[in-house]
A and B are shown apart, each in its own frame.
Chain A
């Protein structure tokens, strides 16, 4: 393989593995925001999910139980957010930050004994058997969680477009008045959406600790959950857009290390900023005055 191929393979691998936590958190956030609520706490949920998944996998020896436990822990934390935000005059952005800190704190406190042990991780599915190049084979070893994420993205898009559940969720998110007129229970819908969204974010955390990089420590997330929340805006609240944005972000994130590995060694701090520069560039290119927030649910506290 020459240098260009090596970088391209690394970007492909990045799109498939670095992207997955972004994908799950942004899908979860998308679901929550389409119901009219913001949950910045998903960064904390990501960290908590990572810890719970790792601990459960280590204690039971079954990584899939870890994934379930992470989803459960995420849903529980999301439930807290949903319940408190249902009270009058509670600001969901502020509450989200409280949830973020709580999630980090709980994960760091209970995660201490699990920094050192090695827990069994989730095996990947080899899709690269057709290639004789070991780099390609390694890049195409796809985690089943990524496939679950892709299916969830398309499923969610269909749900928002055609399913009764998704349409009701959208009404609640776009106009509380219309939802009340239809007799929908706004708080219950938002609570369930927040719980489901945080459950997804928890699965994203499980990917971090059980698949890639596949280890638990306190700097594991380093802000990926918050970035994913921003990706939802970038994806215009469209689940399939979240998939594309996450994969783009993952591929761009692989650029920094792989360029250095093939000998493009200067300006690596600039290349590490590539995902953010890219996001900014696409936003600048696509946003026009007047329709800057197209796709934004009307009930979001920042829209009102």
Chain B
């Protein structure tokens, strides 16, 4: 009983900065027997139920909530500023959290690094690809999934559905994680039909509902008939596209309920596996890995079930490629590969599978993508 009350109460009073009473109750709790009690904090940049990035993490957090001995703390809408330092410190100092997941990209540097250096007894793991053994503290680390593979499959399905041979991508910021997705989507489509182009529109930030709607409309006005996105909450993009009669491929979570007609498939996170792994290791007192990666085969990501508009041919082809990916070593990016300015970015003979560290510093858009980084 008391166990379940802590996160709720904390959530309600969290904004007021009242934590002293909770500290007391948190210290009385861990009388339970077997598994070692561990308090884990999750920090989200947006609302937990945004049909997107934050919802995917919150579902992962919910999946470990019921594990015995695990207490979950969650705080939403924490800005990528000094605010996140305050949140992390209050979780550590007031709630005795020993493992923190600041999930948003911008939390890492300098905020999480600063806290990691100060609080050496606490483990921090950041979602993204930024942790570097040579530069960063050993109680910090990062985890990520190869969701680009999901976007590659999205691209294959999108190519089959498109009649105009124009696809649209609503993207937030031109950072490597986003560019991997844009390029993977475009290459998936081009693997079906090399004449297909993908137009990318950058909105400039993770959650800009009006710009996302404008971008979706503009892409459809420009002739695109399948839209996908990489923004925090794909709800606006998916609903706008459905309203305009265009197809959509989802991202982060399953958005099929928002577009019963036009939703083709989607690349979803499956963080439950990752968080379970961390929680189990933490309880057993084992050392946590600093650098965790996984893809479709590891269950880190999954695909949404196909929508009604997906043809038999598309299903077959996507399933076949998915089976290839599951075997491991499948390389989307292999040379010779040109970017969209005609420059060779991968030399002939080189092949980068999902695990290749090279693609995590991607700073180009592949041939067939209309767009630029700045």
Contact = CB atoms under 8 A, between A and B. Distances in A.
Interface of A: 1, 6, 9-10, 13-14, 18, 108, 112, 115-116, 118, 135, 138-139, 208, 212-215, 217-220, 222, 224, 253-254, 256-258, 260-263, 265-269, 272
A243 to B, nearest CB: 19
A257 B217 CA distance: 9
A277 B218 CA distance: 22
A146 B144 CA distance: 45
Contacts of B222: 6, 258, 261-262
A204 to B, nearest CB: 13
- Judged by DSSP, the binding face of A is helix
Nearest to B258: A118
Interface string B197-214: 001111110011111111
Interface stretch (B32-40, B184-192, B234-242, B316-324): B234-242
Interface residues of B, number: 43
12 contacts: A1-B221, A6-B218, A6-B222, A14-B214, A212-B210, A212-B213, A213-B240, A220-B209, A261-B215, A262-B218, A269-B374, A272-B204
Most buried by A among B50, B222, B257: B222
B214 A257 contact: yes
* Shortest 8 CB-CB contacts between residues of A and residues of B: A213-B213, A261-B218, A257-B215, A265-B372, A258-B218, A219-B207, A116-B49, A257-B214
A261 B201 contact: yes
Contact of A218 (B77, B208, B220, B243): B77
Among A135, A208, A214, A261, which residue has the most Cβ atoms of chain B within 10 A?
A261
Given A14-B214, A115-B47, A213-B240, A261 B203 contact: no
A187 B249 CA distance: 55
Given A138-B217, A220-B209, A260 B201 contact: yes
A215 B239 contact: yes
A265 B208 CA distance: 19
B4 to A, nearest CB: 18
B204 A269 contact: yes
Given A14-B214, A268-B204, A115 B49 contact: yes
A118 B297 CA distance: 33
Contact of A213 (B204, B236, B257, B258): B236
Interface in B37-79: 46-47, 49-51, 55, 77
Nearest to B11: A112
Nearest to A14: B214
Given A266-B374, A268-B204, 13 more contacts: A10-B218, A108-B77, A215-B235, A222-B208, A222-B209, A256-B211, A257-B203, A257-B211, A260-B202, A261-B222, A265-B370, A268-B202, A269-B374
A218 B46 contact: yes
A219 B235 contact: no
B194 interface: no
Contacts of B124: none
B319 to A, nearest CB: 30
B129 interface: no
B219 interface: yes
Contact of A215 (B201, B202, B236): B236
